[in-house]
Every structure is written in structure tokens, then in C-alpha cells.
Amino acid sequence: MAAIDKQFELRQLLKAYRKGLISDEIFEDQMREIQLGDGGPAASAPPPAPARVYRVRDKTFASEREMLVHFLDEFRAGEAFGGVIFSLWTEVAQDPAIRGGLRAVCEREAMHGRVLAARLGEIGAQPTATLPESFRESARARLGSPHVADADKVADFLKQIPDAEAAVAPIREVLSQIEDDLETCALLSAILEDELATIRWFQETGRALGLDTSDGAESAAPAGG
């Protein structure tokens, strides 16, 4: 086997193995074939390279697709529910400025839920993730209540999400690991910018209301997707 052909085969084989597309046994068999085809002893094959591990928070995955299926599904569930609860808040909002901003936030969240679900289907997976019922009930009761002031709801959101970059860090973590699915990469990049815009709007609204969220303590009331 020509040296250049051997190097090409080795690169392709290692790439497939690191992505988790082939098992350890197949990798070892292919390495032996390449070595024997070159006239060298099978025993001289280098040890298998460790398979790449993909991460989302505290979970690990063997392939890019597995990581994306998990992340897209969980993200979809949160964003779709965000569209629901921000809509409930919009309906009872008393402050016209807040009500106007919430209309845009609500549409963004709902749209994210739809496009993430669509992309999940395009890569051959079905949506299964759901948010805990206790979380959903608490969010509906709090944000859908006409008896809770708009300023208090804004304060809740800012206490739960005091730092924009920390909030979108999981998206950036996934983006940094994508090598093959460029369509999903572009989709998540665009959604990330929308998420930052939503957080900035809440921060600006909070400043206009004179709210102090410097302690960064988590609120007992969830602020949505």
C-alpha cells in the first residue's frame, strides 16, 4: 500500500472511531488490515485512540448526533413552554411598556420551540422531553396571575437569570463541539442571539423600574423557558 493511501485510510478510520461511528472491534480489525496490506505485522498497529466524548452539562454522549438529539429536545421543551407562560403574562400585564416587550419575547420563545422541534424531526428523532409538572404549575400560577405586579415578575426573572453569558453557556458549550451538523449549528447560533436579546430586554426593563438584582439569588418562582 502506498504511504499516502495508508495515511489517508488511517485518518478516515480514526475520524470514524473518534465520532463513535465504529466499535472498538471494528477499529482494531481495520487497523490490522491496513498494517497487513502494507506488509507490516499486525502486532505493530498502534493502540486505539480514545473515542471522543461529547458533553451537555453533566451528561456525556458517544456521538455528535446523540448530543444534539438530547440538547435539542430539552431546549425545545423549555422554549415552547416559555412561549406559553410569557403569553399568559402578556394577557394580564398592566404596564404597557412591559406588555409590548413581552409580545416580542413570547413570539421568540414560541418560534424557537417550533423550529427546534422541526430540526429534531429532520435528524430522525422525536420530541419526548417535558418539564416537571410542579415547575409548569408554579410558572403558570405566578406569571399568569393578575394579582402579581409586573415589576415583581421582572424581578423574579432577573434573580433567576442575573448573568446573560452564564444563561447561554450551555448553548455555547454545544456549539463548540459541533463539527458535522452545520445546519443545527447555524440554527442554535441564531437562537442564542435571540436569547441574549430577551435577557437584555429584561435587564433594561429592570433598570428602568429601579430593581436591584445584584445579589443574584435564585427566585422560588420560575421565570420561564
Amino acid at 22: I
DSSP run (H or E) holding 56: strand 54-56
Is 66 exposed, middle or buried, given 0-12, 13-18 or 19+ CB atoms closer than 10 A? Answer: middle
Q: What is the mean pLDDT of residues 37-65?
A: 73
Q: Is the pTM of this model over 0.75?
A: no
Amino acid at 197: A
DSSP run (H or E) holding 54: strand 54-56
For residue 76, what pLDDT band results from cuts at 50, 70 and 90? very high
The per-residue pLDDT for range 93-106, each reduced to its tens digit, is 999 999 999 999 99
Report the chain's mean pLDDT, rounded to a whole number. Answer: 85
Core vs surface per residue 159-194: b (16+ CB within 10 A) or e: bbbbebeeebeebeebeebbeebeebbebbeebbeb
Per-residue DSSP letters for 154-203? HHHHHHH---HHHHHHHHHHHHTT-SS-HHHHHHHHHHHHHHHHHHHHHH
Asked if the model's pLDDT at residue 204 lies above 80, the reply is: yes
Asked if the model's pLDDT at residue 40 lies above 60, the reply is: no
More confident residue, 76 or 25: 76
What pLDDT sits at residue 7?
67
What pLDDT sits at residue 15?
72
What pLDDT sits at residue 4?
55
Q: What is the mean pLDDT of residues 9-18?
A: 70
Q: How many helices and strands (H and E) does the chain possess? A: 8, 2
Q: What is the mean pLDDT of residues 40-63?
A: 73
Q: What is the mean pLDDT of residues 75-96?
A: 97
Helices 150-160 and 133-143 meet at what angle, rounded to 10? 140
